[in-house]
Amino acid sequence: MKFFVDTADVAEIQALAASGLLDGVTTNPSLIAKSGRKILDVVAEICAIVPGPVSAEVAATDYEGMMREAAILRRIAANVVIKLPLTPDGLRACKALTSDGAKTNVTLCFSAVQALLAAKAGATYVSPFIGRLDDIGMDGMELIRDIVAIYRNYPETLKTEVLAASIRHPVHVLQAAKAGAHVATIPPGTLRSLYAHPLTDKGLAAFLADWAKTGQTIA
């Protein structure tokens, strides 16, 4: 599974990229607004840090507007992925952009049939939102399993990767990986929490205590 970080905070991205575990970045209008910076500047800076895919979302809701904004975003860097809403105009733009060689990420997916439409439109990625479905009493992970199963039925024609989004905690990452999602896009705090385990901390403390008793140094 590939790990993307879901943020527009450049400092966070720099720190996580240093780990070597970061495969890409996703942003959205809310994250850009939170950064307080101009989208073109933020995306350009992120693309310079991370060589992998960087999703930048259009703000327009009509086809012509999406295509205009996509043209601007595509000029930022070769690794920009155009993020589009799962609407009729968004899917139309997805088809046009994919046909023109762009990579696309169709977002705000909440049903398996929506994901099927995104794949038929040629999306590079589809982003099913796990946490938001959980919030309304549905099983977000069931959506991941359904999409993966459908895509696997048609390996010759459906090439879209499942990008598990709206991840809230490490268990979501585990479940998405077991379900076969190709990518998980994870908030920085949740990504860092994947390292944590009390037995790791306890074991390291014991090793360090025993090492201190030897009086040795590695030099």
Place of tokens 């086809």: 63
The CA distance from 193 to 175, in Å, is 15
Catalytic one of 34, 83, 95, 213: 83
- Answer left, alpha or beta for residue 101, where phi above 0 means left and psi between -120 and 50 means alpha: left
Q: Is 100 exposed, middle or buried (0-12, 13-18, 19+ CB in 10 A)?
A: exposed
Residue 138 parent element (H or E): none
Sequence letter at residue 153: N
CB 127 within 8 A of CB 106: yes
Helix, strand, or coil (residue 198)? helix
The CA distance from 201 to 197, in Å, is 7
Residue 6 has phi, psi (to 5 degrees) of: -100, 90
Whether 83 is catalytic: yes
Helix, strand, or coil (residue 5)? strand
* Catalytic residue numbers, as ranges: 83
